[in-house]
Structure 1
Amino acid sequence: ALDRAARARRGEDGSTEHFLEGIDVRDPEFEDWLALERQSWFARLEEAGFEADLAPRPAPSEARREASQAVPRTSPPAAPQPPQSLLRQEDEGGWRVAMMPPVILGGDPAAAVLQADVQRALRRALVETGDLRLVDMAPVALGDLGAGLAGGGLLARLPEQVHLSVQVRVLADHSYLRVGIVLQNPADNALVWSDEVIVPRRESIGEASFAMPLIVRATEEATLHFLRRHGTEGAEAEGRIAAAVASMFRLARGDLDRSEEILRRHLDRTPTAQGYAWLAFLNTFRVGQRFNPADAPLIEETQHLARRALGLEPNNALVSALVGHIHSYLFGEFDYAAALFEQSLRVNPAQTLAWDLYAMLHAYAGQPKRALAMARWARHLGAFSPHRYYFETTRAITGNFSGDHQTAIDAGQSALAERPDFNSLLRVLVSSNAHLDRPEEARLFLERLLQVEPNFSVASLRDAGYPGLDTEGGRHFLDGLVKAGVRKH
C-alpha cells in the first residue's frame, strides 16, 4: 500500500520513506536489522513505479538527509550545494544489482530460516563494497516466482539501469541442506556465475557460517563482473572504489599512485566512508613498504582519513576493519583496534579482510598461534579472491611468528608467484628458510629482497615502526633474518 501511495505522489514530501521511524528498541541486533531494512525500504521506494517511468528522479534534498538518519545512504552524499543536476547524477552512481526473491524448495522451516540468514548476510556484504547499489525486489507468491523464473518474466521487469541480478536458492531434504547463489544478466537471462554449498543437516543447526565462503565469493564475482565488463579504467565512472582497490593491491609504486588518484577524485565528488577508509589503508602500504621517506605527515593524514571514515559509517564492517588496521599497524593501539575488529565481525562475519587484519593484530600483540588460526580462516574465506595473495601473506607472517615455518614458506611462495617483488613476503621467506636450516634458499630470497629494499637491515625495520618486533614471535622473526645474514644496522 505504501509503495502504491509513493507511486501516486512520487516527488512529493511524504513520510513513507522512513521505515519504522521513531522506533527505539535500544538493542544492537535490532538496530543493525533496522538499518538494513531501512536501506532496503528506501531502495524499493526509489524504484517504485519503474515500469511506468524510468526517468531519473530528483534526489532527496540534503536538508532532509541531514534531518533524519532514517534515510540510509545507499549512495554517497553529494558535496555541499552542487547544482541539482549533479545531485541527481551522483545519487544514481554505482552499479545496480537486483536482489531477487529467494527460491526455497523442500517445505522445511529450517530452509526458510537458513535462507533469511544467508540473504541478510549477502545483502550486507554487497552494500559494504561501496560500489553496488541494491534494488531489493519485493517477495512474490511461489507460483508467480516459478512462472517468472521459467519465462524470464521477473527478470524482464527489472529497471533498465540494473545490469546484474542475484538470487539465493535453498533446497532441504531429510539429511542435507543445499545453498546456492546465482548471478544473472537481466538483459538476456545469461548466467554470470553460480555456485553452491552442501552441508549435512546436523552440521548446520543454528547458523549459516558454512555458507560464508559462498557469500564472499558471490560478492567478489559481482564486482569482478563489472570490472571485466568495463575494464578497470572504464569502470571508474561508476565503480571508483573497485577500480582503486584493484590498482592498490597490485602494490607497485605506480599502481599505488593510480589508486590514490582515483580515490582522491572520488572523495572530491562524493565523500564516502569507504573512500576515506581505503585511502587511509593505502597509506599503510606506503609506510610498510617504505616508499615515502618522510612518513610523519603521511601518518598524520592517515589518522585524519580514518577518523572521517568512521564518523561517516561507524557500523560498516569493512570501514571498521580498515580503520582497525590503521590503529593496530600504525599506532599500536591494540585494544581500540580489537574493539573495531570485533564490531566488524559482529556486523558481518563474512568480512574476509576483517579476519585477515585481525589476525595481524594478534601477531603484533604477541598471540601468534591465534593469529595463524585466524589467518587460515581468512584464507579459506578468500580462497577465490583476486587478492588471495594478500591473505596468503598474512598466513606466511603469522606462520613465521608462531614458529610454523613450513606453513610460512608454503604460503609465502604461493603469494610470491603473484607478487614477486612484495618485500613483506621476501622478509618472511628469508627468516623461515634460515630457521629451517636452508641457507641457500635464504640467501636467494635475501638477494631478491635487497633488490627491492637495497638498504634493508634490522635497524631499518625498527626505524620504520614495524609492529610486534618486541614480542616473542617478532624476536623469532628477527633472529631468522640475522641468521640469514641480514645486517643489524
Structure 2
Amino acid sequence: MGVFRVTGPHGTDRTPHSMKSRGLLALLLEAHEFCRARSYLQDHLWSDRQQEQGASSLRQALSEIRRAFGPHRELLETEGNLVRLRRDGVVTDAEDRPPGDLDAVEYLEGLDIRDPEFERWLRDRRQQRAAAYESDLAAPDILAPVGASRPWLVVEKPTGGTVVAEHLGQAIAQGVSDRGPVEMVPDGHAPPSIPEDKAGCILSVGERNDAFGNSVSVQLRSLDNRRVLWTTMAPLDPETGEGLLPQIAPLIGLGIDRIAAELAAPPSPAPGHGAAAAPASLFATVDDMLRTRGRDFKALDTRLQLCFEEEPRGIVLAWKALLRCLAFGERRREDIGLLRDEAKSLVARAVEMEPQNPQVLALASHVYTFVLDKPPVAHELAARALRIDPVNVYGWASTGYAHLSAGHVERAYEALLRARRFTGEGPHRPMIDLLFGMSAIISGRIAEGTATLETVNALLPDFQPPLRFLLAGYLAQGDFPRAEDAKLRLSVLETGFELRDFAEPDYPTPSLRNNTLLDLKNLPRLL
C-alpha cells in the first residue's frame, strides 16, 4: 500500500527510475509465482506499440531494473517467453491492510503510466482491494474470504530419510497443488489452528530397506481423527534399466488422485453444527465436473467462476476451458463457435497466469487438439508440461492426443500407454482410457482398442465419445452387426446422428479425420 518502492536488505533504495519499470515490477508482484509472459507485460505497458517496438522497450525496462537492483540483479530472471522475480529473495507488502482509513492511502500510489491497458489493470486492482477492505470492516469477526474453502494437506517428514521417499512425497504434494488451491503444511509442522469442519488429510511417505528388498510406501490419514484412509506400497529395483522415477510414477498418480478425492469430499460436521455444508473447493467442483462429464454446464461454470473470484489462479481458468471441451465433445450446445472462442481465451489467460504449472499447460494442450484442432501448438504445450513434471498424467495424455491428431500414431500409442500406467483411479480415468483406446484403434491395434472402449462404455453407457470410436473400430474390422448396434446407440444419444457426420469439420473426432483408418466420406455406404 502507498507509494511503490523497492528497498534492499539494509534499507537501500533500489526503486527503478522510470514509471514503466516500476509498473513492470508491480505486474510481476501481483502474479502467481511472481511470473508473467513477455507478451502480457508488453500488452499492459506498451499496448500502443508494434510488437518489435514493445519487445525492445521491455528489454530496456528489464535492463534498468537489473541496474537498479545492483548486487541483487539475479532476483530478476528471464527464460524464453517468461519473466519472473525469485520468490526466495523478494518480500512484498501487497497483501497488507492499511492501518487506518483506506482513503488515506492508495494502492500503488503515484504509479502514473499512460497506457490504457495498465490503467485498466491498476483501476481493477484498486477496486478489488477497496472492496475486500470494506468487506473486512463490515465483518471483522469473519475470516478473510481468500482461501476460505481451501482444503488442508499436511505433509509429514518422510520416514527412512531417503531421497526417494522425499521426492515421492514432494511430487505427490506438488501434483495436488498444481490441480488447485490447497493449504499446504510441509514437513509435518502442526498448523496453528484447523477448523473442525475443514476438509483435508495427512500424507505420509517412507522407504524401507530390509531382507525383503527396497520398497516405498504411501499412507493417507484423516485430518480430524487420524484414521487411515488409504495405504499402499511398491517394491524398488535399483538394478532395473528404467531408473527409479518410472517405478514410483504410478504411486505418484495414485497418491494425487486419492488426495484429490479426499479434498473433494464434504468435510465432517463440527460437533453441534449438524450436517456439513456443501463443499465449495475447486477440488469438489472439478470432481463433480469430471464425474458428470460437465452435464450441468451452467451450474458448474458458475461454481468455477466463484472459485476463480475467491482465488484467481490460472488452473481455475484451465478447468473452465475443459468444461467447454466436455460440452463440445458431447455436443450439448449449439454455439460451437462460441465454445471454441471461450476455450481459446480461457487457456490463453490460464497459461499467462501460471506458465509453470504443468497441469495448466496440459489442459491447454488438450483444448488446442480437441477443440481448436491445432496439433503442433498442442504438442508444444504438452512438451512444456512434461519438462516441468515428467510424470504428469495429463501431460502424457495430452502429448499422446496431439500425436494422434497429427497422424503420429505410434508415438501417440506409446505416450498414452504411459499415461494409462501412471494414472490413478480418479474421475478422469475414463478420459485416459478413452484416449488410449482411440490410439490403439487408429494405430491398428483394433482388438485392444475396442476391448478398452467397451469397458468404458459398459461403465458409462451414456458417454458418447467411446461409442464413436467403437463404431469406427467395428467398421475397420468389418464387424458390421456390432457397428450397426453402436450406430443405433449413438443415434439415441445424438439426435439425428449419421455416419457422414464423421467427415464434418465441426464433429468432435479430429483424430479420425487426420488419420487414414477409414475413408470417412464413404462410410455411409458401409451401413
Matches of 1:234 and 1:131, distance apart in 2? 20
The answer as to 2:335 corresponding to 1:289 is no
Structure 2 residue aligned with 1:405: 446
2:511 corresponds to which residue? Answer: 468
2:122 is aligned to none
Cα shift at 1:482: 4.3
Among residues 420, 438, 458, which one is paired with 2:479 in the alignment? 438
Aligned to 2:170: 120
Q: Residue by residue, what CA displacement relative to the aligned partner does 1:85-116 show, whole Å, maximum 9, x if unpaired?
A: 568221444111111111116xxxxxx23233
Is structure 2 residue 220 aligned with structure 1 residue 164?
no
Output the amino acid matched with 1:323: A
Q: 1:365: how far off?
A: 0.2
Residues 406-431 of structure 1: CA deviation (Å, up to 9, x unaligned): 11111111111221122111111112
Distance 1:265 1:237 in 2: 12
Gaps of 5+ in 2: 1-6, 11-28, 35-70, 98-105, 112-126, 137-142, 269-274
Q: Secondary structure at the match of 2:265?
A: helix
Q: Aligned match of 1:361 in 402, 423, 428?
A: 402
- 1:60-83 CA-partner distances (Å, limit 9, x unpaired): 46969xx9xxxxxxxxxx954332
Name the counterpart of 2:272: none
Aligned to 2:150: 94
Q: 1:426 aligns with which of 458, 467, 489?
A: 467
CA contact (8 A) 1:399 1:408 kept: yes
- Do the aligned residues in 1 keep the contact of 2:404 with 2:412 (CA within 8 Å)? yes
Maintained 8 Å contact 1:213/1:382:
yes
Please give the secondary structure, in 1, of the residue aligned with 2:296: helix
Q: Please tell me whether residue 83 in structure 1 is matched to residue 146 in structure 2.
A: no
Amino acid at match of 1:122: I
Return 5+ residue gaps in structure 1 as ranges: 1-12, 43-57, 68-77, 106-111, 139-153
Question: 1:24, CA displacement in angstroms?
Answer: 4.8
What per-residue deviation string (whole Å, max 9, x for no partner) do you get for residues 31-71 of structure 1? Answer: 99x97x859x99xxxxxxxxxxxxxxx9546969xx9xxxx
Q: Is the 8 A contact 1:443 1:484 kept in 2?
A: no
Query: Which residue of structure 1 lines up, in the alignment, with residue 414 of structure 2?
Result: 373
- Distance of 1:438 and 1:215 partners within structure 2: 40
2-side partners of 1:121 and 1:27: how far apart?
25
Q: CA deviation at 1:448?
A: 0.2
| Secondary structure of 2:439's aligned partner | helix
The answer as to 2:393 corresponding to 1:352 is yes
Matches within 5 A, 1:13-92: 23-24=74-75, 38=88, 60=96, 79-84=128-133, 88-92=144-148
Displacement, 1:235?
7.3
Alpha carbons 1:321, 1:353 under 8 Å: kept: yes
Tell whether the 8 Å contact from 2:453 to 2:470 is kept in structure 1 after alignment. Answer: yes
Deviation at 1:136, TM superposition (A): 1.1
Backbone CA RMSD of aligned residues: 4.0
* 8 Å contact kept, 2:266–2:279: no
Query: Does residue 396 in structure 1 map to residue 437 in structure 2?
Result: yes
Change (3 A) 1:226 1:122: closer
| Cα displacement (A) at 1:484 | 5.0
How far apart are the structure 2 equivalents of 1:229 and 1:83?
Answer: 27
Q: Are residues 306 and 124 of structure 1, via their aligned partners in 2, closer, same or farther at CA, if it must alter by over 3 Å?
A: same
Letter in 2 for 1:89: P
Asked if the contact 1:368–1:401 (Cα under 8 Å) also holds between the matched residues in 2, the reply is yes
Which protein has the larger Cα radius of gyration, Structure 1 or Structure 2?
Answer: 2
Deviates more, 1:175-184 or 1:347-356: 175-184
- Output the TM-score relative to the length of structure 2: 0.70
Q: Which residue does 1:209 correspond to in 2?
A: 246
SS, match of residue 249 in structure 1? helix
Give the Cα separation in 2 of the matches to 1:412 and 1:357.
18
Which among 182, 187, 197 is matched to residue 132 of structure 1?
182
Task: Verify: 1:196 aligned to 2:233, yes or no.
Answer: yes
Query: What letter matches 1:97 in structure 2?
Result: L
Tell me the secondary structure at the aligned position of residue 472 of structure 1: coil
Cα distance in 2 between the residues matched to 1:27 and 1:246: 36
User: Aligned AA for 1:447?
Assistant: L
SS of the counterpart of 1:98?
strand
Normalising by the residue count of structure 1, what TM-score does the alignment of the two structures yield? 0.75
Return closer, same or farther for 1:377/1:253 CA change in 2, 3 Å cut-off: closer
Find the aligned partners of 2:517 and 2:317 in 1 and give their Cα distance: 31
How many residues matched?
Answer: 421
Deviation per residue, 1:428-481 (Å, 9 max, x gap): 1112122223222211111100101122234433241542344334546x3895
Pick closer, same or farther for the CA change 1:455–1:340 going to 2, 3 Å.
same
Q: Percent identity?
A: 19
Tell me the distance in 2 between the aligned counterparts of 1:407 and 1:483: 26
